């Protein structure tokens, strides 16, 4: 009985706000599994976290860099905050563990720091997938009072774009010698990058990579914010202060232009769209098991109804009767 009380979402959120990390971990598991109750509570008290995405190809040094950014966030947090959360997302893996373990190990400098919360995240089972699970998780971390959330994602095309859409500042990490890759991904990189980092600048080719990126930016119609390019050596910490300063500049830019508000609005629209799609898909999946669905198929098989008309009728029923699609609407 008392166990149940302690694990009810609003009690967990209270505990997490008071600094109970075990409660926060439980809440994230609930979000991961698509708990609507937790998501709804977090949505109603969203907090003020600033979110930074770190994305890039496998092995680019994202975790090493994130590890360094944790130190920056602890020492120079925005508005005096000194806590930080890290979410490590591996879109290619349907479950936590395995691939993410390496990230944990690389960030274990902070394992005993109670102001640092590090968590890997899987999105299987979450309605709407990655595009909804990440904003949900980020909102939860914000709702329990964490002022900065760093989100590390392995760059894998569209999913990378989805995760980037969930953060305020998105850092794209490349390495020296990536000229060709940059050429090939120009559009995608420009779409998501607020900041470029050339990590492993201790290796040959950093200057050429910087030139390639500058050229790409010169040739594209960047808006009021031209993404700066910061060279880092994450393994030694070189350039990380400059990166933190650049993140702060982007944050000020968003705040000053009032664009953070419109960014967040666009993000909510996108998330809402994904949720609607998932909801409709759920209902369709349920509908195919109904007798009246079979009846519509039979009518089509007899040539009395075309599939487009049938779809319109089913959908009309789905939105009016509230109980499920009707074949005879
Ligand atoms: N030479 C050099 N090596 C680095 C630098 N930053 C990271 N590394 C090394 O690069 C390797 C990969 O670093 P990670 O931080 O795990 O890279 P990642 O992008 O998080 O990798 P995944 O999460 O597996 O995609 C590790 O062996 C790091 O020690 C750097 O600036 N210079
Ligand atoms: Mg990593």
If you write DSSP's letter for every residue of 103-141 in order, what string do you get?
HHHHTGGGTT-TTEEEEEE--TT-TTTHHHHHHHHHHHH
The CATH number that applies at residue 229 is: 3.40.50.300
* Residue 35 in domain: no
Distance of alpha carbon 105 from the chain centroid: 22
Crossing angle of helices 62-76 and 98-106, rounded to 10°: 50
Is the pTM higher than 0.75? The answer reads yes
* Residue 273 in domain: yes
For residue 230, is pLDDT > 60?
Answer: yes
* Residue 37 in domain: no
What's the pLDDT score for residue 106? 64
What's the pLDDT score for residue 98? 41
Query: Using 50, 70 and 90 to split pLDDT, how confident is the model at 327?
Result: very low
Residue bearing the bigger pLDDT, 95 or 310: 310
Of 125, 49, 53, 48, the C-alpha closest to 89 is 53
Residue bearing the bigger pLDDT, 27 or 130: 27
Crossing angle of helices 240-256 and 62-76, rounded to 10°: 70
What's the pLDDT score for residue 1? 43
Q: Do residues 307 and 249 share a domain? A: no
The answer to whether 310 touches 299, Cβ cutoff 8 Å, is yes
Please indicate whether residue 54, judged by its CB atom, sits closer than 6 Å to ligand 1.
Answer: no
* Residue 211 in domain: yes
For residue 325, is pLDDT > 50?
Answer: no
Please indicate whether residue 46, judged by its CB atom, sits closer than 6 Å to ligand 1.
Answer: no
Rg of the chain in Å (alpha carbons): 23
Q: Do residues 71 and 179 share a domain? A: yes
* Residue 25 in domain: no
Q: Do residues 89 and 212 share a domain? A: yes
* Residue 158 in domain: yes
56: its two tokens: 């890039």
For the segment 197-210, the average pLDDT, to the nearest whole number, is 96
* Buried residues in 133-147 as b, exposed as e (16+ CB within 10 A): bbbbbbbbbbbbbbb
Ligand 1 probe mutation, 53, 61, 104, 202, most atoms within 8 A of CB: 61
CA distances (Å), origin 4, targets 7, 39, 103: 5, 19, 33
What's the pLDDT score for residue 46? 86
The residues pairing with 171 across neighbouring beta strands, listed in sequence order, are: 54, 195
What's the pLDDT score for residue 95? 47
Domain boundaries, position 224: 46-256
* Residue 59 in domain: yes
Gap between the Cα atoms of 320 and 85, Å rounded: 43
- Which of 45-49, 73-77, 118-122 has the highest average model confidence (pLDDT)? 73-77
What's the pLDDT score for residue 149? 96
Residue 62 Cα, ligand 1 centroid: separation in angstroms? 6
Structural domains counted in the chain: 2
Residue bearing the bigger pLDDT, 101 or 140: 140
209: its two tokens: 């990579």
**Residues of the chain with pLDDT > 90: what percent?**
50
The answer to whether 50 touches 247, Cβ cutoff 8 Å, is no
What's the pLDDT score for residue 79? 84
Cβ-Cβ contacts under 8 Å for 275 (sequence gap 6 or more) = 127, 128, 132
Q: Which of 256, 272, 287 is the last residue of a domain?
A: 256
Query: Using 50, 70 and 90 to split pLDDT, how confident is the model at 201?
Result: very high
For the segment 48-72, the average pLDDT, to the nearest whole number, is 93
Please indicate whether residue 204, judged by its CB atom, sits closer than 6 Å to ligand 1.
Answer: no
For residue 247, is pLDDT > 90?
Answer: yes
What's the pLDDT score for residue 193? 93
For residue 159, is pLDDT > 80?
Answer: no
Q: What's the first-to-final CA gap in the chain, in angstroms?
A: 47
Q: Do residues 195 and 321 share a domain? A: no
What's the pLDDT score for residue 320? 63
Please indicate whether residue 58, judged by its CB atom, sits closer than 6 Å to ligand 1.
Answer: yes
Read off the pLDDT of residues 281-302 as tens digits, 9 standing for 90 and up.
888 888 878 887 888 899 999 9
């Amino acid at each position: 009985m008392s166990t149940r009380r302690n694990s009810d979402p609003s009690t967990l959120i209270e505990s997490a706000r008071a600094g109970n990390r075990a409660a926060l971990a439980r809440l994230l598991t609930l979000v991961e599994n698509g708990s609507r109750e937790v998501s709804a509570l977090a949505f109603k008290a969203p907090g003020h976290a600033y979110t930074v995405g770190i994305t890039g190809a496998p092995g680019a040094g994202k975790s090493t860099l994130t590890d360094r950014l944790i130190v920056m966030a602890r020492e120079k947090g925005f508005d005096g905050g000194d806590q930080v959360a890290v979410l490590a997302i591996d879109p290619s893996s349907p479950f936590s563990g395995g691939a993410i373990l390496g990230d944990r190990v690389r960030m274990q400098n902070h394992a005993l720091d109670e102001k640092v919360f590090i968590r890997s995240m899987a999105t299987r089972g979450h309605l709407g997938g990655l595009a909804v699970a990440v904003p949900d998780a980020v909102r939860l971390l914000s709702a329990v009072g964490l002022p900065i959330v760093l989100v590390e994602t392995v760059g894998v095309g569209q999913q990378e774009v989805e995760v980037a859409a969930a953060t305020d500042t998105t850092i794209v990490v490349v390495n020296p010698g990536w000229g060709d890759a940059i050429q090939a991904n120009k559009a995608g990189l420009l779409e998501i990058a607020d900041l470029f980092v050339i990590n492993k600048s201790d290796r040959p080719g950093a200057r050429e990579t910087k030139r390639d990126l500058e050229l790409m930016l010169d040739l594209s119609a960047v808006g009021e914010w031209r993404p700066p390019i910061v060279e880092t050596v994450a393994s030694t910490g070189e350039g990380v202060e400059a990166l933190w300063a650049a993140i702060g500049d982007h944050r000020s830019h968003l705040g000053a232009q009032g664009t953070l508000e419109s960014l967040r609005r666009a993000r909510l629209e996108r998330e809402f769209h994904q949720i609607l799609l998932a909801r409709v898909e759920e209902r369709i999946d349920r509908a195919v098991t109904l007798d009246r669905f079979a009846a519509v198929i039979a009518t089509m098989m007899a040539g009395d109804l075309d599939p487009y008309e049938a779809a319109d009728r089913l959908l009309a029923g789905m939105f009016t009767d509230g109980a499920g699609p009707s074949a005879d609407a």
